[in-house]
Amino acid sequence: MLELSDRNVAALRRVLEQPDSNGRYHPVREIARGGMGVVWEADDRELGRRVALKILPFGAASADWLCREARVLAGLEHPGIVPVHDAGLLADGRAFYAMKLVQGNRLDQAVAGLTRNQRLRIFQRICEPVEFAHSRGIIHRDLKPENVMVGEFGEVLVMDWGVAKLSSGGPETGIIGTPQYMAPEQAAGANDTVDQRSDVYGLGGILQFLLADQPSSRPLQAICKKAMAQDPRERYATAAAMSADVGKFLEGEPVSAYRENPFEVAWRWMARHRTLVLLFLGYVVMRALVLYFLGR
């Protein structure tokens, strides 16, 4: 019997996993691969455009899961969430859905070389679609840098809603999410208690990642700490509230998560009114010089 090497088996599997090139969607290249399927860049022959085509392995369970993810995305029409164009079954029976092809980089790749304030503004853009999803009763449950894309024109998109929780869904079992960014209630498998504050925990992890190689700041550390509190009741109630605190920091205002001492209050005021402070100091120096020369 002919034995195939692991390399040959992997190559054969990749060939078999390609979508049928004779159908509506012609595969161009593989973009990503994970436990829930493979994403291809493909040509949509009917409409003459490039799309991202997500295809799941054979099996009814995976098909049901894919249809669920497609329905979640279809119900979230927001500039920060990739729109779904089409969904169904390929000729070989595998489930698929086609979505907008995002040209750009993952967050963990896109922030290299950016200043702290630029990163914070990107973070606020991440909070917007998350807050929108929460307003529609949908919890992402797997927020992490790898699931955020920054497009070539600066657009910020939250990706991979495959494990999202719907408020109208039934009971679930098992641990869902990525350990490093997973809220304690998720890690405990207490999915019935998972709510928007669980996503706030994930946002805290993303903010912590964005600040890892940046100058330390106690107010920003306090924001991360509050977002990632072990007790959900001690976290920000919403993604919007967390984003608002980041906005206050950017504007030179006090943030709700951190209590300043008098020295910090004065320092922040001077930093915010730098021009006024410099003018005043200039006036004091000039006046001192005038008095000095007049007194000689």
Which residue numbers are catalytic?
A: 142
Are the C-beta atoms of 167 and 227 separated by less than 8 Å? no
One-letter identity of residue 74: A
The C-alpha atoms of residue 89 and residue 237 are separated, in whole angstroms, by 40
Helix (H) or strand (E) holding 8: helix 6-17
Copy the structure tokens of residue 45: 């022959």
One-letter identity of residue 254: P
The C-alpha atoms of residue 164 and residue 52 are separated, in whole angstroms, by 20
Candidates 223, 207, 191, 9; CA nearest to 107 is 207
- Cα dihedral 45, 47, 50, 53 sign: negative
Candidates 66, 64, 181; CA nearest to 130 is 181
Which pairs from 86-92 meet CB under 8 Å and 24+ separation? 89/63, 90/19, 90/20, 90/23, 90/55, 91/20, 91/23, 92/20, 92/58
SS3 20: coil
Relative to beta strand 49-55, strand 37-44 is: antiparallel
Enumerate the β-bridge partners of residue 53.
40, 98
SS3 77: coil
The C-alpha atoms of residue 246 and residue 271 are separated, in whole angstroms, by 17
